[in-house]
Amino acid sequence: MRVQLNMTFRTPKLSALTSAALAIPGLAHAELQTDYLYSHYAEGDLPAGNSASGSASERYTIDSHLFRVGGNLGAGDANLNLTLETMSGASPWWVQPDANGKPVQVMSGASIDEERVDIEASYGMQFGPIEPVFKAGYSSEEDYQSVNVGVEAQYTPEGGVYSASAGIGYSDDRIEPTDGGSAKYPDRIRSADKNSLTAYAGLSWIIDAQTVLQTVFSYSLHDGYLTDPYKRAYFVSVANAVPESRPDGRQSWTLSARWRHYLPALAAAVHVDYRYFQDDWEIESHTVDLSWQQRLGETWLVSPSLRWYSQSQAYFYAPYYADFREDGFASSDYRLSPFGALSARLDVRKSLDQHWEVGGGVEVYDASASYAIRPVDVENPGLVEYYSVQARVNYRF
């Protein structure tokens, strides 16, 4: 279940400085390109000590295939992305206390199997110093459909040392949960809708011949059914778990800064990114991403990176509840809990000739209360650790 907003901040031409410097010769200029990316994502088992059953439990695995084609079309550039995903495994259902009051995770009883198809198209043109891009997309899985549109533009004055970008996107989503309103789950909704609006503005400056700085501010507004219909919250007062409930509106703000510096003597570039997020559910988060881009010879590019993340909790979150809240909200979703995370990634690219490029990567991720900025009184037992591997092939005509 995803909201596709198509509102990622495009890297302006000015901030492509280090990418151009590290580009593998022969692949930088192409009128038509095709890409294929395979990704395998696997979450670690829920430890027996965190499980209400007392046994370890398997979690989600996701296999995805991304096909991309892009190139010149008429007076502009067109891109088309098609993603096919298969998902299986068990997911967190609710958290309840054990005999000692320790929160333990209850997992969904049966393995979940889902498929998702996502298609995105974009078309960009250039009118002097202004480059508008129009986007549209559609995503569908068994219980979820999303339609989205967006437009963004970049302004780069002739001979200037800065570039400005802005954009806006809208998504309309509908959810029809499996077994909604059935005899098995009579308290699960049958269907619901939500919509999202996101806008951003950013600036990029050339500091000197090797350095670029970007700043981006974005705002998002979500309205409608924002609850996860498959999750429940446990109440000690009734000794039972009932469907979780979240507010039907959410506003968030994000401020990002990105620094890129190219080191000619080493044929390398260092990337430093920082992101601050805040919303009216009282979640506040910080993300720091450090990456090193190293060219080896004429055909290799190796990129190790490290990311740290920390967030506070939503105001209505709790592992479990003694009694019902006055506002009626309740969620034990680990994604709304306070926690931190560390992840490490290694990406490798290899040019075979002026047309073909192959590559791949591996990432490991671990979430824990110990990584958070502020002390966490009670760690959610459903926090995730995962690994993912990717392989890709690119062809330039």
CA 44 to CA 46: how far, in whole Å? 6
Q: What was the pLDDT predicted at 113?
A: 84
Question: Domain of 154?
Answer: 14-396
Tokens representing 316? 């209505």
Q: What was the pLDDT predicted at 229?
A: 96
If pLDDT is split at 50, 70 and 90, which confidence band does 20 have? very low
Once rounded to an integer, what is the mean pLDDT over residues 28-49?
89
- Give the residue among 236, 368, 361 at the shortest CA–CA distance from 301: 361
Terminal CA-CA length for the chain: 35
Is there a domain that residue 1 lies in? no
Q: What is the CATH number of the domain that holds 308?
A: 2.40.160.40
Q: How many residues does the chain have?
A: 397
Is there a domain that residue 228 lies in? yes
Q: What was the pLDDT predicted at 31?
A: 75
If pLDDT is split at 50, 70 and 90, which confidence band does 275 have? very high
Is there a domain that residue 6 lies in? no
- Give the residue among 205, 178, 202 at the shortest CA–CA distance from 190: 178
Per-residue pLDDT of 100-109, as tens digits, reads 999 999 998 7
C-beta separation of 388 from 39 below 8 A: yes
Is there a domain that residue 360 lies in? yes
Q: Is the pLDDT of residue 27 over 60?
A: no
Number of domains in the chain: 1
Is there a domain that residue 146 lies in? yes
Tokens representing 342? 């560390």
Plot region of 30 (φ>0 → left; ψ -120 to 50 → alpha; else → beta): beta
Is there a domain that residue 4 lies in? no
Once rounded to an integer, what is the mean pLDDT over residues 202-208?
95
Backbone angles phi, psi at 149, to 5 degrees: -140, 155
Q: What was the pLDDT predicted at 15?
A: 41
If pLDDT is split at 50, 70 and 90, which confidence band does 158 have? confident
C-beta separation of 293 from 22 below 8 A: yes
Residue that wins the pLDDT comparison between 283 and 159? 283
Q: Identity (one letter) of the amino acid at 369? A: A
Q: What was the pLDDT predicted at 30?
A: 52
Is there a domain that residue 55 lies in? yes
DSSP state of 374: S
Per-residue pLDDT of 209-219, as tens digits, reads 999 999 999 99
Q: Record the pTM.
A: 0.91
Per-residue pLDDT of 168-180, as tens digits, reads 999 999 999 999 9
Q: Is the pLDDT of residue 16 over 50?
A: no
H or E segment and range at residue 261: strand 249-263
